Amino acid sequence: MLSYRHAFHAGNHADVLKHMVIIQLMRYLGQKDTAYMVIDTHAGAGVYALDGDYASKNAEYDTGIAKLWDRKDLPPALKEYVDLVRSLNPSGKMRYYPGSPYCAEKVMREQDRLRLFELHPTEVKVLEENFRKLEAHAAAQGQRPAARGKRVMVHRGDGFQGLKALLPPPSRRALVLIDPPYEDKRDYTHVAQVLADALTRFPTGMYAVWYPALQRNESRQLPERLKRLGAKSWLNVSLAIHGPAPDGFGLHNSGMFILNPPWTLEPMLRELMPYLVDVLGVDDSAEFVLESGET
């Protein structure tokens, strides 16, 4: 099913949580010189115009990045995330929002590698075009040689399938982001199956799964299934900005489930999540959950 377009949701509260966490996971990997790989199995378009038809339709960014844009009291990890979004908007007006591929490209170093999968024929073209522009811009600024070899590669195709061939990565250091649309409920099962397989190929990899925390059974069960995969350790964080709507529609709650998280993540989130609840929450039902475990 390929009706999902992330542009409708760009910059919403779920993107804030997801992108802030990804940046911190990459920062941790970047503490060692050895190269790491980021594999984004569901990349989307890479960059979104917030004044475009899709993003402005429901203005979902009003539930997320817009509430953080002018804050002067951001905790460090959120400041780093907002600064990254600001770097895409040098005029100071919030016009563009970075997807996970752009966030990753900004944080990775010359020696690191980014592998992007996208199945939607239109999205993947936009993604390729966005990276062509980024490369041209970096080359024009003298930041990077125009021919950068295989630093970033866009794969047209199924990320669930494509992941297998990339594991384990040569440097044995990687972050895998799995962020499917979940419009097709089989995505929930695919995520658990693909991770079980990935852990056999590369048990020490860091895996980050975004998921919608909805009322439907598949959604409620996903974190429980992931806890039982047998990874050495796991962390689950979710953010609800209000209670569920009476008709069950809309995304009010979402989470990031991380297998083999860095030890630094939990204390950082413990400090930061109350701030996010405070600033993004719209009623008394706003809350976060933060839990972790070891196998």
Annotated binding residues for S-adenosyl-L-methionine: 19, 42, 100, 118, 158-159, 179
Residue 88 CB, nearest approach to ligand SAM (Å): 13
Stretch that binds ligand SAM, among 24-32, 113-121, 260-268, 285-293 (CB under 6 A): 113-121
Binding string, residues 9-28; x marks residues near ligand SAM by CB under 6 A: ---------x----------
Q: Do the beta carbons of residue 114 and residue 37 sit within 8 Å?
A: yes
Given the complex with ligand SAM, which of 3 and 91 has the nearer CB atom?
A: 3
Q: Do the beta carbons of residue 199 and residue 255 sit within 8 Å?
A: no
Task: Tell me the two tokens of residue 206.
Answer: 């860091």
Relative to beta strand 287-294, strand 233-240 is antiparallel
Residue 281 interacting with ligand SAM (CB under 6 A):
no
Q: Do the beta carbons of residue 241 and residue 253 sit within 8 Å?
A: yes
Interaxial angle between packed helices 265-280 and 13-29, expressed in degrees from 0 to 180 and rounded to the nearest 10: 160
Residue whose beta carbon is closest to ligand SAM = 99
Binding string, residues 41-80; x marks residues near ligand SAM by CB under 6 A: xxxx------------------------------------
Residue 42 CB, nearest approach to ligand SAM (Å): 3
Among candidate residues 179, 184, 187, 284, the one labeled active-site is 179
Residue 155 interacting with ligand SAM (CB under 6 A):
no
Closest CA to 235 of 261, 213, 210: 261
Which residue bears the tokens 């400041």? 79
Which residue bears the tokens 């993604």? 127
Q: Do the beta carbons of residue 18 and residue 210 sit within 8 Å?
A: yes
Residue 120 interacting with ligand SAM (CB under 6 A):
yes
The answer to whether 187 is a known catalytic residue is: no
As a whole number of angstroms, the distance between CA 77 and CA 79 comes to 5
User: In whole angstroms, what separates CA 105 from the centre of its chain?
Assistant: 12
Stretch that binds ligand SAM, among 71-79, 116-124, 141-149, 241-249 (CB under 6 A): 116-124
As a whole number of angstroms, the distance between CA 124 and CA 155 comes to 8
- # binding residues, ligand SAM (CB under 6 A): 22
Binder of ligand SAM out of 25, 108, 114, 159 (CB under 6 A): 159
Residue 62 CB, nearest approach to ligand SAM (Å): 18
Given the complex with ligand SAM, which of 36 and 102 has the nearer CB atom?
A: 102
Binding string, residues 82-101; x marks residues near ligand SAM by CB under 6 A: -----------------xx-
Residue 278's H or E segment, with its range, is helix 265-280
Residue 209 CB, nearest approach to ligand SAM (Å): 11
Task: Tell me the two tokens of residue 16.
Answer: 């804030």
Show binding-site residues: 19, 42, 100, 118, 158-159, 179
Residue 24 CB, nearest approach to ligand SAM (Å): 15
Q: Do the beta carbons of residue 211 and residue 255 sit within 8 Å?
A: yes
Q: Do the beta carbons of residue 154 and residue 35 sit within 8 Å?
A: no
Closest CA to 84 of 39, 153, 22, 151: 22
Q: Which residues are catalytic?
A: 179
Residue numbers of the site for ligand SAM (CB under 6 A)?
2, 4, 6, 18, 40-44, 99-100, 117-120, 123, 158-160, 179-181
